[in-house]
Structure 1
Amino acid sequence: MDKLKLYTNQNFDQLRQRQDPLADQAVEDLIANPSFIDVINSWDIIPDQLSPDFSPRVRNFLQFYFDKQSLQETSVLQNGQDFFAKNGDIYLGLLGFYSLPYCYAFGDGAEVLVRSKRIVQDIGKRLAETGVFVMDIFRPNAFISDSRAYLTCAKVRLIHAFSRYFIQKYARDWDPKFGKAINQEDMLGTNLAFSMIVLRGMIKMGRNISESDFEVVLQYWKWIGELIGVDTSFWPENSKEAFELDRLIRKRHLKSTEAGKTLIGALGGYYKGNIPDALIRQQVDGLFYFFLGKEASNALGIKSTNALSGNLVDLVFRFSGWKNYGSKKSYEGFRRMMEIQQKEQFGEVIKLNLPQVIRS
């Protein structure tokens, strides 16, 4: 199917009013029964036998993941995991220097993020959680013979639903013009930022990304999108559709907001104070500007006096990767380095958990 016909303002106006009922209903019951949250946070995988105490809506939500296990396409998953095993260090770096800042430049979606105090005040752990999510979903044999990533996706989906619940319940300053919180358009855009935007970053650095690479990564993130509640009937199947989807969302939402500037300020400040590599630490704003380009950088108030070239940026990333991983890159090496850095910074390996609800 040609997805380009779907990329219209009328369709995407409707997507801004749609959320994720399956997860939203489950979260209402989790908030009413906080002990369910403790049980889910204690799991390593979604167990075959669910507690009979779970409400029907929580059970329906979790049943979705059992049903999906019979639908996975092994070749799609293995191809995506192979791509990450070869490029994981660059992939993770681009998430931090391109994907996340790019999301902040889309003003209405940034309004959700800035209302999470953890993203601004506890950004280190929030970034670490994003890293855990990405590493979990790209683990070798994830979703095939290793079912742990299903629980990771279920948790991320529920965390989004928790955010929607608290914004709807307590954010008195929420403007309906933003659309509904964490709506389908914003989820499509975020999924695109974690896939196509990463590949575009590699191209900016001078790397050769083939149409086959695009399709491998897009197919992988279609699967992830389904697991985290995205309506993938709008998801692109190739690079042309991906660029057109990005073009539409960019035209609709890229703008300067205080929310976006607050988020990029927190992210840049964190990098400048915590990135071990001095060369990267000194070029944080320049790297933001290089990847985002003039329009998005201006929207976020990023100014760069030193114009970086793609070759130089690629060299910086290669050197950083070589220092951390040596000449032999692998998923195991990426994971090991991530956990070492988390222990050094936080005293523990970060685990993705549902938020605790204060019991009344």
Structure 2
Amino acid sequence: MSKLKLYTNGNLDQLRERTDPPADQAVLALINDPKLIREINEWTVIPEVFNENFSDTLISFFRLYQIPPNKSEIVTLQKGQEFFDRKGDIYLGLLGFYSLPYCYAFAKGAEVLVRSKRILAEPGKRLGETAKFLLDVFKPGAFIESKEAFLICAKIRLIHAFSRYFIKKYSKDWKNEFGQPVNQEDLIGTNLAFSLLVLRGMRKIGKNPSTEESNTVLAYWSYLGKLMGIETHYWPETAKEAFELEKLIRKRHLQSSEAGKRLIDSLLNYYEANQTESFLKGKSASLVAFLIGKEASDALRIHQEIPMSSELMGGIFSFLGWKNYSGKKSHARFNANFEQSYFQTFESKPEILLPER
């Protein structure tokens, strides 16, 4: 049955007022017993048995991640991981130069992001955390043979709930018109940015994914969405549904804002300060503007100072792929390259941690 009939302003208005009750309740339990936050941050996988200090609320939350994928989900996971194994470098590049900047052009969602001081003060580390999340959830065998990715998804879900808690408790300038912080519509929109927009970006640079690959990516993010507390009843199952849902969200929320401007300026300044390819120096805004398109560029008040084209962008991605991997692409090499680059920049390893108070 088509989900197109679900994509109405009325339904999305309701999603703006819905959050993720199991995660919100888990965070309240952690706020009441902060030492458990440090214990969770020390985990490498979700344990089978929890210590006596864990409340029933927390145990119930983490039990959600001890349900193994079914046969159909295993097929989706294997296909998605094979896709990332071939095109993960492009995926990560488009995440940084397309998906994230595009999200900043959505004014109400940007209001949540700009309230995270780290995303403005340490954009490189936040970008690295996002890259680590992608690499962990697309690692060959993730969710099937290895269980680390379940913990990563649980942490991301709790981090969203911590954001809601802190904004509601401490942000005096939060407006009702923004909806609930990190609400269901914004969660779905972010998942679309990490899936549909990456596929769209591949087409923009001439790296065209097949119909089967596109369907696999959407199905993969349906599985991830379930693990991160998204109401997947609304998640698109076809390219047509994904196109229509993203178009409606864009129509509802793509708008210029000071929050979005602060976020994009912080990101572009980081790119320019850390650009190691001389031929790309000074071109970060042009690269982003080409990918996100005129409407989003206008909202963020950036433009193509240097004209870009599909052929030129495709050539840049191809050159960087050849330089970094010599044609021998794999998840293991993507991960090693990322960890080495991150350590050279920050002299530490990338981690996704719950906020310790």
- Which TM-score band applies after superposition, normalised by the shorter structure? over 0.9
Assess if the C-alpha contact under 8 Å between 1:37 and 1:356 holds in 2: yes
Assess if the C-alpha contact under 8 Å between 1:211 and 1:238 holds in 2: no
The match for 1:232 is 232
Deviation, structure 1 residue 208? 2.1
Assess if the C-alpha contact under 8 Å between 1:72 and 1:143 holds in 2: no
Letter in 2 for 1:51: N
The match for 2:257 is 257
Q: Name the CA distance, whole Å, in 1 between partners of 2:80 and 2:61.
A: 26
Q: Name the CA distance, whole Å, in 2 between partners of 1:15 and 1:68.
A: 28
In structure 2, do the counterparts of structure 1 residues 72 and 275 end up closer, same or farther at CA, with 3 Å as the change threshold?
Answer: farther
Deviation, structure 1 residue 342? 1.1
The match for 2:321 is 321
- The CA deviation string for residues 184-203 of structure 1, in whole angstroms up to 9 with x for no partner, is 00000000000010000000
Assess if the C-alpha contact under 8 Å between 2:68 and 2:144 holds in 1: no
The match for 1:41 is 41
Deviation, structure 1 residue 51? 1.3
Q: Name the CA distance, whole Å, in 1 between partners of 2:4 and 2:355.
A: 38
SS for the counterpart of 2:99 is helix
Letter in 1 for 2:129: E
- The CA deviation string for residues 268-289 of structure 1, in whole angstroms up to 9 with x for no partner, is 0000001222233331011111
Q: Name the CA distance, whole Å, in 1 between partners of 2:143 and 2:312.
A: 37
SS for the counterpart of 1:73 is helix
The match for 1:173 is 173
User: What does 1:184-223 align with in structure 2 at a 5 Å threshold?
Assistant: 184-223=184-223
In structure 2, do the counterparts of structure 1 residues 72 and 41 end up closer, same or farther at CA, with 3 Å as the change threshold?
Answer: farther
SS for the counterpart of 2:67 is helix
SS for the counterpart of 2:351 is coil
In structure 2, do the counterparts of structure 1 residues 24 and 72 end up closer, same or farther at CA, with 3 Å as the change threshold?
Answer: farther
Q: Name the CA distance, whole Å, in 2 between partners of 1:96 and 1:277.
A: 16
Number of residue pairs the alignment of both structures matches: 357
Letter in 2 for 1:122: E
Deviation, structure 1 residue 141? 0.3
Q: Name the CA distance, whole Å, in 2 between partners of 1:46 and 1:275.
A: 37
User: What does 1:135-146 align with in structure 2 at a 5 Å threshold?
Assistant: 135-146=135-146
In structure 2, do the counterparts of structure 1 residues 278 and 193 end up closer, same or farther at CA, with 3 Å as the change threshold?
Answer: same
The match for 2:91 is 91
Assess if the C-alpha contact under 8 Å between 1:195 and 1:217 holds in 2: yes
List runs of 5+ in structure 2 lacking aligned partners: none
Q: Name the CA distance, whole Å, in 1 between partners of 2:132 and 2:208.
A: 27
Assess if the C-alpha contact under 8 Å between 1:277 and 1:320 holds in 2: no
Deviation, structure 1 residue 125? 0.8
Deviation, structure 1 residue 211? 1.6
The match for 1:117 is 117
Deviating more after overlay: 116-125 vs 271-280? 271-280
Provide the aligned C-alpha RMSD in A. 1.1
The match for 2:29 is 29
